[in-house]
Amino acid sequence: MTAPYSPDDRQKVVAKLPPELRRELKVRAAELDTDIQDAVAAGVTSWLALESHHTVDTSGGSSFSTYLPTGLYEELKRACKPRKVSYNQGMAQSIRLWLDSKSSPRPAPVRTTGACRLVFGNQKGGVGKTSVSAGVAQALAESGKRVLLIDFDPQGHLTRQLGYAMLDIDEASLAKHMLGDAESDLQALLVPIKGGDFEDRLWLLPACKDAFLLDAKLATTRAVRIKETALERVMAELEREFDYIILDCPPSLGYTMDTALYYGRTREGEKPRKSGIVIVVQAEDTSGDAYDMLADQMDDLCDDLKIEIEVMGFVVNLYDARNGFIATSSLQSWQNMEEPVLGVVPELKEQREAVRRKEPLLAYEPDCEQAQILRKIARRIQG
Ligand SMILES: Nc1ncnc2c1ncn2[C@@H]1O[C@H](COP(=O)(O)OP(=O)(O)O)[C@@H](O)[C@H]1O
Ligand SMILES: [Mg+2]
């Protein structure tokens, strides 16, 4: 697989930049489908060609790293001296220059069908549903979207990996709301995910220990269609607050999954490729069999309820080409599928370290290769 930069002709550079400038850079780069490192390189090149530039406020700066073509960094440092500015100021001015030369291409979207809904699923455990859904949510929030992550797996891995406790069995919960057993406001259960450049835009609806009962209770409910529509009904209010709602699904194909799939269907009047299912897979043989079962379940649901569920694409996770033919040929078979491969995430230590430290990956190691790929996946999802 190709790295987002060639280590041979780029060098890592670090500068202290104020958080607002970093965020603006990430949002604009995402809007323009440009890599951050290419945006910075373009800014530096333009800045070098200028005589001078007005001062940019760099107070409150914290560490930001990126990769510049070798030589450009030296040129920038050299040019700072005669202009009597610090290197951090030179970087800040270069980025400001790039931002000012690129206006935002998108007017605020007009929503008529609620938030976009992305369901991350696969009944196989350990393939990376939780890691990838959380990473994509962070990347979307970093690019300026308001994002809600729902821990829809009774095991509560997402909740715990982000450093939160699961809701107690006696507390209000999403499952109780879905079953009509809760009085309170669902919004009161949300917690903010802190850190990183997505702060203030990313929220979590934690899992509750009662979610284990959800499947059985949905199965025995007598109300017609409640099995499939239970989630959609309780989410209506919250949808107004968010651009994206992301579900990290359990590794199972029960009613809980049906209600998630129904929630991700293409609604009437909704444009294609706004909502749907993202299937996280691995490049090995059993992943293909697992996908066939999930695809059958989706077909049945679509036939029964006369709905459409868009497969947004596959994310091939935990990829390691050193596994040889099995890995490369399995990857090829995912790439041969009708639906797109949204990204290939290599098996790298940063993801496991972030989980161990209970930190979001894009806050723990914002510039690592996995983080860059998750941003690309988020951009492809936004179309
Ligand atoms: N790309 C990756 N590189 C390294 N470790 C990963 C990667 N993706 C996931 N992991 C690790 O694999 C384990 C299972 O991932 P997880 O996201 O919990 O899978 P799932 O939700 O499908 O059960 C976790 O410990 C996670 O940290
Ligand atoms: Mg999981």
Element (H, E) at 329: helix 325-335
The pLDDT value recorded for residue 113 is 66
CA of 125 to the centre of ligand 2 (A): 7
CA of 339 to the centre of ligand 2 (A): 23
Question: What band does 289 get if pLDDT is binned at 50, 70 and 90?
Answer: confident
The pLDDT value recorded for residue 209 is 87
The pLDDT value recorded for residue 108 is 53
DSSP H stretches of helix in 5-86: 19-31, 36-49, 72-80
Residue carrying the six token digits 């989630």: 231
For the chain, the straight-line distance linking the first and the last C-alpha, in angstroms and rounded, comes to 22
The pLDDT value recorded for residue 218 is 79
What distance in Å separates the CA atoms of residue 264 and residue 206, rounded to the nearest whole number? 19
Note whether 381 and 312 are within 8 A (CB).
yes
CA of 237 to the centre of ligand 2 (A): 26
* Average confidence (pLDDT) over 31-51: 93
The pLDDT value recorded for residue 1 is 37
Pocket perturbation via mutation, ligand 1, pick of 127, 131, 158, 287 by most ligand atoms within 8 A of CB: 131
Note whether 345 and 132 are within 8 A (CB).
yes
CA of 217 to the centre of ligand 2 (A): 22
pLDDT tens-digit map of 320-359: 999 899 899 999 999 999 999 999 999 999 999 999 999 9
* Average confidence (pLDDT) over 270-297: 91
pLDDT tens-digit map of 145-186: 999 999 999 999 999 999 999 999 988 999 999 988 888 889
The pLDDT value recorded for residue 140 is 97
Average pLDDT of the chain is: 90
Question: What band does 5 get if pLDDT is binned at 50, 70 and 90?
Answer: very low
Note whether 149 and 202 are within 8 A (CB).
yes
Residue nearest to atom 2 of ligand 1 (CA): 347
Hey, what domains does the chain have and what are their CATH numbers? Answer: 10-101 (1.10.1220), 116-382 (3.40.50.300)
The pLDDT value recorded for residue 46 is 94
Q: Residue 222 above 70 pLDDT?
A: no
The pLDDT value recorded for residue 4 is 46
| Site residues for ligand 1, CB cut-off 6 Å | 125-131, 157, 251, 317-318, 345, 347-348, 351-352, 355, 370
The pLDDT value recorded for residue 223 is 62
Q: Residue 96 above 70 pLDDT?
A: yes
Q: Residue 265 above 80 pLDDT?
A: yes
Note whether 243 and 117 are within 8 A (CB).
no
Note whether 356 and 131 are within 8 A (CB).
no
